[in-house]
Structure 1
Amino acid sequence: METRRHQKVNRIAALILIVCLLFLPGCWGKREVEELAPLIGVGFDLGKKPGTFLITMQLAKPKQGGGESAAKIEDRTFSVEVASAREATEMVYKISSRIPFMGSLKVIVIGEGAAKAGFTDIIDFAQRFSEFRRTMYLVLTKGKAQTLLNIKLRDGELPAMSIKNHMEQGNNLSTFPTVRLGHYLTIIGSQSTAPILPVVETIKSGEDGIEYNNAKEGKELHIQGSGVLRGDHLVDYLTDKETKGYMWLENNVQNCLINTMDDKDKVSFGGQVLKSKTRYKLFDNNGVIGLQYQIQASISVDEVMGVKQQLSEPEWVDLMNQAETSYAKVIQEECEMSIKKERDLSLDFLGIGRLIDERDPSYWKTIKDQWEEKIADFPLNLNVQVSVHHSGMSSSSSTTND
């Protein structure tokens, strides 16, 4: 009797399991990898017809065959003039015979024309479609995005992958901002802060003091400076030094190289920032509210040039003290250049309004509606302190007495 009861219970349990399995989600809408074309980079330019964009899609196709070539990818880049990003996907699919897979997108390149005209409409697809990730990088180019994504690089890498690798390694030098889609959307949502994007260009041999072997076919990418936007409209560019000042003020310097001279312009110091910290605090000067930046940096002196004689230990210590003062002056000048640019543009790309709101929300409410007018003369103070952590593998000069 007991055995029959257990058998009945087991049958009911098995029936329930079978019914549950029928309602479990399966791979009904699966797509085979062989049917997909991984999308690596997208470029946005203005189209020739009013209301259209020239969208460039850089797809990756694994090379056929074994050996080393199996890990490499072929370039399949298409440009189409369309009124929407979805339309571009359809047209590229008809050409490539593979479905573009959006989840692999690494970089969005905004051409100068599209950046000046505004690109909110065309980037809406990137934030709305579920396959896209907000970790993709946004960059500007002073020419056309189509041209940048179609260049042939000397190392054979796809331009979109090269830009992605540059962005991922950006902290090693901290000379340009790395901006992801999610961060950009957060900034424009804050309204008070102006977005800033890094600028990517190609560089010819001999430009900016850089030379390379022209015999090898291809070009090189160069990331320097940045663009300031009002919402989704490009307003102006920051120089390399103005961008470095922005990095200091935004507390985005992790590692960077820095060069300077002593107070007599005879000895030069080459060094590397080991760590830095930028703090902010509001001050009240007789009822006038202002913001003070406090920058602290620890630097390793890796190179000393111009010392003509052997220095004693006290003389070497004095020289390192001069290095600290000179390094602080370089950082101060770069920050002041960035602040001057902010005042000239009346655009808060430094996020000063955001900092005021964090520290004194009630005061921010009284000035936020006139913030762009107040930027030009809002009180700002800089306090830069540099300490030389060590002076390399030598405690003195390598030169000897005559």
Structure 2
Amino acid sequence: MTQLVSILDNDFYKFTMQYAVSKLFPKALAKYQFINRGEHQFPEGFDNKLKEAISDMAQLKLTQGEKKYFKDTCPYIDPIYFDFLQGYRYDPAEVNIQQVGHNLTVEVQGYWYRTILWEVPIMSLICETYYEMTGAQRVANDEVCVIAESKMDKYDKLNITIADFGTRRRHSYQVHDLVIKTLKQHPTKTFIGTSNVHLAMKYDTTPIGTHAHEWFMFHAAKYGYKMANLLSLEHWSEVYRGDLGIALSDTYTTEVFFKQFDKKLTKLFDGVRHDSGDPIEFAQLTIDHYKSQGIDPRSKSIIFSDGLDYDKVETIVRFCEGKIGHSFGIGTDFTNDVGLERMNIVVKMVEAQPEGGPWTDVIKLSDEPNKHTGNKDEINLAKSVLNIND
């Protein structure tokens, strides 16, 4: 039966955001929704299997060893957070799962500081349960390792650094575990860490991540679209004081982001993350922005993380070489390259209720219009307010 083995089997940025939310917005509420982008057909009884797996998550708790590891690894997080996390338990009552025919509905609602941890494990459980119930046969374990090793041999020649970002849409925990073991044993310095905190601890590598789109989406609900990027980054810097300094740029399009990424923030943050749209266009926009602020782009970095494979990475490297720092977060091409169709699913925040305010629709305006998420009327409003035409 599909189940998680650790409360840390989650992406690092979920914990870093949870800490920030608990400090700044402890009374905020949030709603999340599963979006089946790939229109996958879920087999009969899938909802019951998923409910069982979600129910089992209530038993997960931070061990003393995990607490020590996390605390030692992240000295920039106050000790009180690790005490809080040790007492945290997933509450399955926050998750509503329904199935009608082959269509699956999953919704999460509750205090934001609590519900923020659900997204990644729900997605990974949906993927693993789907492959189990459909009976699709993946390649053998040895082949999983060979595929990962052969990719690293090619990446080595590009003289770059790479992290695993593949928890959410992995084939299974077992495949993910095999991939990280292989990458860690690879005899070069190309692999620098993983977004998965549990596997980072297991294989003595670095947990990697900062914040996600929901951080900016909530700020839009509380402060409005024109102030969302600016206040999101101001608040992040208040909490982390210069640590975790990679800024996500595309919640309301990169063009809008750079207009609000003022000189103070441009200097303070180590770089930006690319997660949608054309990576070469993004790289040029980023280089131009740093130059306009009197900053040498080579002193900053772009973390590329949008649907990467070798060919895409090679193209990006050839463009960025000598112009700007660059590193790569590779997801499903590592953790779900097993001879089967990769799932195209997301779980996104859809509403937020800041303290003292009403429930408000939240949206994401990707650099790719077909990846916009949220209420269409709200999307149109945001585009109007931000003067976005696409």
* TM-score, normalised relative to structure 1: 0.25
More helix by share: 2
More strand by share: 1
Bigger RCO (CA 8 Å, 6+ sep): 2
Larger radius of gyration: 1
* TM-score, normalised relative to structure 2: 0.25
